[in-house]
Chains A and B, each alone.
Chain A
Amino acid sequence: MIRLALVGCGRNAPALVAAAAASDHCELSVVADIDPQPAGSVARTANAFRHLGDLESLLASGNADFDAVIVNTPNDSHAHIALTAIRAGRHVLVEKPLALSADEAGEVTQAAERADVRLMPAHTLRFMPANVQVHRALAAGELGKPGMLRSHRWLRRFPGPPGGWKHDPARSGGLCLHEGVHEIDQALWLIDERPTHVHALAAPELLQIHLGYASGAMAICGITTGLPLGSGYYSLALIGSLGAAYADDHHNVHLVYRGGRPQAALTDLRASAVRAQLDEFAQAITEGRDPSVSGADAVAALQIAEAAAASVASGQTAHLTENGYVLA
């Protein structure tokens, strides 16, 4: 059983705690945060030791009896905390983005390789049950060669005060890095080819990333973080040369009748994905193998996210090169 330390008790912590509680492969031993309120609350829920402070102080304390660290802090601290964990010989699961730049993510990845610890970025869309099925169909050759990927992901408005870190691009990396890496990684995973063209458009609470590939394949992904109510919305279509797959929470939505108009009741598929992701991380550690999502995957996604951000800023298309991109 892999013993985990959760560093950062923000918004994703309850899902991670629930996933660890349901897992047969890992358990949450320690919960750490610099803020006593969430640290205490999450530690009580998880029935774990509460540490008030950062990872350095946790490692220096007498309570560092854990194998791996989950980094669940604001984006601008991911790389530093991950490196701290790696240097202490701990495996590490890092919320996305792995770092605020591809270069920094590369440093983390190389550090993990040198230390021979497992590093996994939390690219959770790969573990969404519907996406798993789409990828399985693709891998089995049922869909033929991928030609077009279309996805929509709508999230509730970012919670917290306007001055919170998610609203500060210097801390979050901006929408391309904070959310866009999910869609970019998904495209890399499903189309299995590095794009040649990245064209992105953005407006408040909106991001659209358009990818072109040398093979002729194409992907276009829309994200909005401004949905006022509800549990969000997700839809994906993958058109292959032999068939197509449609994965969404719209076709087969569950309806609840409780007076007035029927309302949608969505199954919490994200909880399943977070659990599957945590299990993959723990099993990779146990089996001494690389996780299915690697630091290199995070670097690749961040390179494209940086190109997307440059495309948004310039109004031009980023043409990817071997080492970066050229705007035109």
Chain B
Amino acid sequence: MSLPERYRVLALSAAKHDYVPLAFKDHPRFQVVGVSDEPSAAGWVHKCNEQLAVDLGVPYEPGIDAAIVRHRPHVAVVSSEAARHAQLSVRAANAGLHVVQDKPMAPTVADCDAIVEAVERAGVRFLLWNRNTQPAIEEARRIVHAGEIGEPRAIHVDFFFCKDAGVLLNSDEPEEIPDSWLSEGELTVEGIYPLAYMRHILGLDAVRAFGRASAHFFRRHAERGVEDIATVSLEMERGVIGSLCSGRIGRPSHPNIGELRIHVVGSTGALVVAEPRPEVAVHTRGLAPDDDRNRRTDQETDRRQVDHFVTALDTGGDTLLNARQGRHIVATVVAALESARTGRPCDVARPS
């Protein structure tokens, strides 16, 4: 069977972020044909979807089944609220579509299992969106796999985003963050990225976790009982020690996007990666306090991820982060948060 000249892409909801569907916009091997969602989606979601359709230059058509029949897409890009990820991804896989999905994979391991089951039964490719195509991450993986620091012994990831999430604890200020942007917890939502780094760089999974988590900064997080900072100790395959510090640490806490560091210790050497580098610092008169000073020099990270995905489609090979791997990351986060609740280490659940 000949390969399509361009894979047709249907964006299924853009409630949270638009960067995943936009990454496919100008790629020569993809054609975004439309945006769709459930008619029953919330009003604010429809507004987001309409805006995405405008940005992509395609129609917005509520009614997923009809949109699939009309556009005959090869790929669904799912970027809905996290609670609907599994529902939409399973539905797309059942319709025979390859799936690219925004993070987190799903709120529960059971939801992830449903996605794994659906994509494997349908024989379609699944990509959980990640940051593994950052140049520094790719270089770290190359160094480790080339044996330049010997056998990996430990990997430590610091993943601090210096963004705010509403007003601070104990503040009397009114909350300006809309309900639609309420976080489900920083480790829960963002943990995919650092845990995917670990997996990508070492090729190893976590087997046991000890976690601590706290709502340290933001009133909404405290009210909802979700974490904005978390630390995780990991026992990984082959006896490797892992650790993760994750947090939404507030805008004043870093001059740039945040502190994103990876330390890898090997038997004959070690490496330190500053994920955003190389970057350019621009300081000018008139910048607002919230304006970023530093700019990434690499603009091709998302493009490389899409390139890799198209190769997986063309060859039937694996994606950079498939459904089973994504499911294991969610299981690791769940184990860490369970540990934080109980004060005891917790095994990472394997598929039954």
Contact = CB atoms under 8 A, between A and B. Distances in A.
Given A210-B212, A233-B272, A243-B252, A150 B158 contact: yes
Given A206-B153, A237-B259, A319 B343 contact: yes
B350 interface: no
B233 interface: yes
Contacts of A266: none
Nearest to B241: A201
A241 B212 contact: no
Contacts of A324: none
B267 to A, nearest CB: 7
B345 A316 contact: yes
Contact of A154 (B230, B270, B344): B270
B270 A199 contact: no
A208 B244 CA distance: 11
Given A239-B253, A244-B254, A233 B235 contact: no
A220 B345 contact: no
Contacts of A233: 270, 272
Contact of B214 (A147, A204, A210, A228): A147
B217 interface: yes
Given A216-B216, A239-B247, A208 B233 contact: yes
B239 A203 contact: yes
Nearest to A221: B243
Contacts of A246: 259
B259 A218 contact: no
A59 B254 CA distance: 55
Contacts of B253: 239, 243-244
Interface in A141-183: 145, 147-148, 150, 152, 154
Contact of A197 (B216, B268, B343): B343
B249 interface: yes
Given A150-B245, A224-B154, A237 B160 contact: yes
A217 interface: yes
A250 interface: yes
B56 interface: no
Interface string B263-288: 10101111010100000000000000
B153 A199 contact: no
B269 A217 contact: no
Contacts of B345: 199, 315-317
Q: Which of B156, B210, B214, B343 has the most CB of A within 10 A?
A: B210
B210 A224 contact: no
A220 B272 contact: no
Contacts of A8: none
Nearest to A199: B210
A10 interface: no
Given A210-B233, A224-B270, A217 B245 contact: no
A222 B263 contact: yes
B154 A241 contact: no
B344 A328 contact: yes
B169 interface: yes
A255 interface: no
A216 B239 CA distance: 29
Contacts of A196: 343
B168 interface: yes
B231 interface: yes
A197 B156 CA distance: 20
Contacts of A208: 154, 233, 241, 243
Contacts of B268: 228
A148 B153 contact: no
A227 interface: yes
A218 B154 contact: no
Interface in A258-293: none
B239 A212 contact: no
A250 B272 contact: yes
A148 B263 contact: no
A217 B214 contact: yes
A317 B210 CA distance: 8
B344 A210 contact: no
B167 to A, nearest CB: 13
A239 B272 contact: no
A212 B343 contact: yes
A154 B212 contact: no
A27 to B, nearest CB: 39
Contacts of A228: 268-269
B169 to A, nearest CB: 7
Contacts of B265: 154, 206, 224, 226
Nearest to B239: A203
A94 B270 CA distance: 32
A196 B265 CA distance: 29
Contacts of B32: none
Contact of B233 (A145, A220, A319): A220
Nearest to B156: A222
B229 interface: yes
Contact of B344 (A147, A241, A317): A317
B269 A216 contact: no
B14 interface: no
Interface of A: 145, 147-148, 150, 152, 154, 196-197, 199, 201-206, 208, 210, 212, 216-220, 222, 224, 226-228, 233, 235, 237, 239, 241-244, 246, 250, 315-317, 319, 328
Interface of B: 153-154, 156, 158, 160, 162, 168-169, 210, 212, 214-217, 229-231, 233, 235, 239-241, 243, 245, 247, 249-250, 252-254, 259, 261, 263, 265, 267-270, 272, 274, 343-345
Given A197-B212, A239-B216, 11 more contacts: A148-B245, A148-B247, A150-B158, A150-B231, A203-B153, A203-B154, A208-B154, A208-B241, A212-B212, A220-B231, A328-B344
25 contacts: A148-B231, A150-B158, A152-B263, A199-B233, A206-B265, A210-B212, A212-B212, A216-B214, A216-B216, A218-B229, A220-B245, A222-B263, A226-B153, A226-B265, A227-B270, A235-B261, A235-B272, A237-B160, A239-B160, A239-B229, A239-B247, A241-B217, A316-B345, A317-B344, A319-B343
